[in-house]
Amino acid sequence: MTTEVSLDVDVREVRVRSGHAELGGSLGVPPGARGLVVFAHGSGSSRFSPRNVAVARGLREAGLGTLLFDLLTEDEEAMDLGTGELRFDIPFLARRLIAVTRWARARPELAGLGLGYFGSSTGAAAALLAAALHPGDVQAVVSRGGRPELAGPALGRVRAPTLLLVGSLDVDVLELNQEAFDELLCAKSLVVIPGATHLFEEPGALGDVARRAADWFSRHLDAPGFAARE
């Protein structure tokens, strides 16, 4: 069951069920979309994060569909703020992402689109784990200021081409990304955004992220080839 409310000409609200949980999402698919990018954010964020919303807008302008959703329900988010139990539970977050992927694949208007993941913070680890567990469903992964090392041994099983984007001033996270990059055996690239910190708040930094992500997804989300592997 899906409830939809129009937000604007490009994006509408959707509700996605994952087990007993109902998750909010924002779906935008431009005419003739070349693929669909599902976002997985980190703890303390939401589908309304200005950074992810800005990147999603850039991807849609490049002809890619986007689906931003909340990994946690409101009650789970409130609990996690106090306990921190869920924010680093990568298998749990990956299961949520897989459930949303299945929901998207079941929708007639999305079923034929190549699919990629855009992850930030711990959401990047969840995206990589989900990609490793279901390699036939995911064609590309992009991480923005992510914690890919939290995917652990699953890194070596990822087959989807993976792009890691890290700010040059985000020193600790950059080191963790370099370590994770060495563990990846798929087609891969590590790009350091000059002068950017962890949140990419510097002028032009987030636009650079959006352009590089759009290029990566545009090259790797091949809808006909994706559908052929059904």
- pLDDT tens digit sequence for 170-204: 999 999 999 999 999 999 999 999 999 999 999 99
Instruction: Please give the pLDDT value at position 72.
Output: 78
Please tell me which residue, 112 or 3, carries the higher pLDDT value: 112
How many domains in the chain?
1
> Angle CA(180)–CA(186)–CA(26) in degrees, nearest 5?
80
Residues 6+ apart with CB under 8 A from 101: 38, 115, 130, 134, 137, 138
Please tell me which residue, 84 or 208, carries the higher pLDDT value: 208
pLDDT tens-digit readout, 204-221: 999 999 999 999 999 999
Which CATH number characterizes residue 132's domain?
A: 3.40.50.1820
For residue 75, pLDDT beyond 90: no
Instruction: Please give the pLDDT value at position 45.
Output: 62
Q: Say if CB 60 and CB 210 are below 8 A apart.
A: no
Instruction: Please give the pLDDT value at position 216.
Output: 98
Token code pair at residue 107: 């929708």
Torsion of CA 49, 73, 15, 19, to 10 degrees: 140
For residue 87, pLDDT beyond 70: no
Instruction: Please give the pLDDT value at position 18.
Output: 78
Mean pLDDT of 76-82: 64
Grade residue 82 by pLDDT with cuts at 50, 70 and 90.
low
Distance CA(39)–CA(43), nearest Å, equals 13
Percent of the chain scored above 70 by pLDDT? 84
Instruction: Please give the pLDDT value at position 5.
Output: 38
pLDDT tens-digit readout, 96-119: 999 999 999 999 989 889 999 999
Instruction: Please give the pLDDT value at position 155.
Output: 98
pLDDT tens-digit readout, 115-165: 999 999 999 999 999 999 999 999 999 999 999 999 999 999 999 999 999
- Model pTM score: 0.89
Percent of the chain scored above 90 by pLDDT? 67
Please choose, from the candidates 66, 71, 76, the residue with its C-alpha nearest in 3D space to the C-alpha of residue 26: 66
* Domain extent for 224: 5-228
